[in-house]
Amino acid sequence: MRLSRYFLPVLKETPSEAQIVSHRLMLRAGMIKQASAGIYSWLPLGLKVLQNIERIVHEEQAKAGHIPVLMPTLQSADLWRESGRYDDYGDEMLRLSDRHGRDMLYGPTNEEQITDIFRSHINSYKDLPLTLYQIQWKFRDEVRPRFGVMRGREFLMKDGYNFDLTKEDALHAYNRHLVAYLRTYERMGLQAIPMRADGGPVGGDYTHEFLVLAETGESEVFYDSAVTELSFGDREIDFDNVEQCASVLEEFTSRYARTDETHDEALFNEVPEERRATARGIEVGQIFYFGTKYSESMGATVVNADQKHVPVHMGSHGIGVSRLLGAIIEASHDDKGIIWPEGVTPFHVGIVNLKQGDEAADAACEALYKSVSALGLEPLYDDRKERAGGKFATMDLIGLPWRITVGPRGLKNGVVELTSRRTGESEELTPELAAARLAEIYAQH
C-alpha cells in the first residue's frame, strides 16, 4: 500500500475523551471512529489488525478440530424464553420487535441459538463429540461503555460451544480449548494467564478467565509470580490426546492465580511470600463447562449406546476479539505510539523515502516495494512529499514493527536502513539483504 493513496486519518492532537493509552492510540492512529457510545466504525488500519486477530483465532481453532459456523446477530426471543434467560438477562440485553410485533434481541451470546441448531440435526451419540464456533458481533448494553473497544456495547467475540456425551468428554473439550487459547494469545504477542474464575449463577469449578496483566485492567488479580514464567511455545499437541491436554491444563493452572471474584486470602498466603503478586488484568477470554443446563431446558438430547435419550454435556468458550486490540496495545506501546507484535501487525514493514522526488531514492523504494511484496509480505510505503521527521512520527505512531529507511546518502553506499520499532536498533544493509531479513523474521510468525 502507498500511503499517498491510503486512508489513514491520523490525529495530531490527543483526543480528550480517551482515558487510557490504547484508546488514545487507536484514535490517534486512525484505527477506529466512535459512532455512538461503545459503538465503533473500524477504519482501514484497525480493520486489518482485527482481521489478523480473527485469522489467528480461526487457525488455532482449526488445529483443535473445532468447526466454524456463523449465526445471525438478531435472535428470536422465544428461544431465550425456552432456556429461561429472556427474563433473567436484564438490561444488558438489547430488545427490539419487528413489524409483526415479534420480540427479537441483538445477541449478547449464543448458547440458545447453537443448542437449537444442535437439537435440530443431531440425535445420536455417534455424532459426538462436536465443537462449533463462530466469530460474530455481540451487543451488550453495558452501563458504562468505556476505554474504546475494551468495553464496547457492540463488540466482536469468538464464541465456541462443545457438545459431548459425558462430563468426562466435555472436560476434555474444556482442556482442548485451554490449550488452543494459550497458543492463540501467544501468537498475538501476549501472555494471557488462565485464572480461576467465578462460575456465576450456574456454579461449578470449571471456568477459567484469561488475563493480560496491565495497569489499566478492570480486574484485580492475585497470583503466584511463577505463572508468569510459563510459556506454551511451539510444542506439538495432539488434541485427541486426553492426557496430554490435561497435563497442559495442570501445568498452567496448578499455581495460584485468581481474580478478585474468587480470591481466597488463606490459600494465597500459602504461596511463598516473595512470589505473591497482585496486579490488574484485562480479561481477554473465558472458558466454561456448564453441563446440561441448556440441553435439559431446551431438549438437546442424543440416544446413547443403551438406546436411552440423554441430555448432552456442554461448555462455552469466548475470546474478546475486538477487546484484544486494546489489550495488545496496553501491553505493547511506548510514548511514541503502538508497537505491534509481528503476528498481528497491519503491515509487515514501513518503507520511508527520505527524499521523495529524488530519482535514485524513488527507484530504490519502488524496487523494495516490489521485492518485499513478492515475498508475500505487505509493505506500507510512505511516498508522500513530507519531511522525514513527520514520516518517522507517523510510522512510530501506527507501530509497524519494522521500518526500512531509504535516502540518497545511504544509496550512494548501496545501503538502506532496517530499524526495529521495539528496540530502536538499526542496521545498514543492501536492499536485497533487508528484504531477506524480513522474510526470515516473518517466517517465524
Radius of gyration, alpha carbons of the chain? 24
3-state DSSP assignment of residue 300: coil
* Residue 207 near Mg ion by CB under 5 A: no
Q: Which of 286, 295, 301, 345 binds Mg ion (CB under 5 A)?
A: 286
C-alpha cell at 412: 550512494
Please, is 3 exposed, middle or buried when counting C-beta atoms within 10 Å of its C-beta (0-12, 13-18, 19+)? buried
Q: How far is the CB of 193 from ligand ATP (least distance, A)?
A: 13
155 binds, among ligand ATP, Mg ion, none (CB under 5 to 8 A by kind): ligand ATP
Q: Map the footprint of ligand ATP across residues 301-330, applying CB under 6 A.
A: 318, 320, 322-323
What is the rounded distance in angstroms from the CA atom of residue 217 to the CA atom of residue 433? 41
Q: Does residue 142 belong to the site contacting ligand ATP (CB under 6 A)?
A: yes
Q: Which residue has the closest beta carbon to ligand ATP?
A: 320
115 near Mg ion, judged by CB under 5 A: no
For residue 69, the number of C-alpha atoms closer than 13 Å in the C-beta half-sphere is 17
Binding pattern for the stretch 241-280 against Mg ion, x by CB under 5 A and - elsewhere? ----------------------------------------
Among 80, 155, 163, 252, binds ligand ATP (CB under 6 A): 155
| Burial classification of residue 63, based on how many CB atoms lie within 10 Å of its CB (0-12 exposed, 13-18 middle, 19 or more buried) | middle
Could you say which of 46, 107, 152, 189 contacts ligand ATP (CB under 6 A)? 152
Secondary element (H or E) of residue 318: strand 313-319
The smaller minimum CB distance to ligand ATP, of residues 283 and 382, is found at 283
Q: And the C-alpha cell for 170? A: 466435555
Q: Which of ligand ATP, Mg ion, none interacts with 291 (beta carbon under 5 to 8 A by kind)? A: none
- The answer to whether the beta carbons of residues 410 and 357 sit under 8 Å apart is no
Which residue number, 194 or 431, has a Cβ lying nearer to ligand ATP?
A: 194
By a kind-dependent CB cut-off of 5 to 8 A, residue 345 interacts, out of ligand ATP, Mg ion, none, with none
Tell me the C-alpha distance between 312 and 162, whole Å: 9
Which of 111/383 has CB closer to ligand ATP? 111
What is the three-class DSSP state of 138? strand
Does residue 129 have a cis bond before it (omega within 30 degrees)?
yes
Question: Where would I find the H helices in 148-210?
Answer: 167-187
Q: CB–CB of 411/23 below 8 Å?
A: no
140 binds ligand ATP per the rule CB under 6 A: yes
Candidates 157, 300, 312, 331: give the one binding ligand ATP (CB under 6 A): 157
Residues engaged in binding Mg ion (CB under 5 A):
286
Residues engaged in binding ligand ATP (CB under 6 A):
109, 140, 142, 151-152, 155, 157, 283-286, 318, 320, 322-323
